[in-house]
Amino acid sequence: EVKLVESGGGLVQPGRSLKLSCAASGFSFNDYWMGWVRQAPGKGLEWIGEINQDSSTINYTPSLKDKFTISRDNAQNTLYLQMSKLGSEDTAIYYCARDYRDFDYWGQGVMVTVSS
């Protein structure tokens, strides 16, 4: 069974950094592109970016490229999202997803709240 489990969310002060993790199981992690999507409270989905199998190609939505960094550890079957200079606009549920036929499997999401 494919499983994606995000962790690392919580309350963070404006201007600080946070790193999210996504633990994958039930499939051959190093065979797939992986991505991150977020959803602000009551809003639609926003594509953050994705990374290819060997981390040689990473694409971001332009507005987040200087703040967010996607990485992966294939030995640990884990995807990461490093977020810096966080602001209130970054308050959202963050989902990791497997990219096969588009995003065919999603994690349950992790909440990040940016507030003083």
Residues that bind other proteins (CB under 8 A): 37, 44-47, 49-50, 59-62, 95, 101-104, 106-109
Least Cβ distance, residue 101 to other proteins (angstroms): 4
Find out whether 17 and 114 touch, Cβ atoms under 8 Å. Answer: no
16 versus 55: smaller Cβ distance to other proteins: 55
For every residue of 5-73, DSSP letters joined together read EEE--EEE-TT--EEEEEEEESS-GGGSEEEEEEE-TTS-EEEEEEE-TTSS-EEE-GGGTTTEEEEEE
93 versus 116: smaller Cβ distance to other proteins: 93
Least Cβ distance, residue 5 to other proteins (angstroms): 11
Least Cβ distance, residue 16 to other proteins (angstroms): 25
27 versus 106: smaller Cβ distance to other proteins: 106
Other C-beta atoms lying within 10 Å of the C-beta of residue 114: 19
Give the residues across from 10 on adjacent strands. Answer: 112
14 versus 61: smaller Cβ distance to other proteins: 61
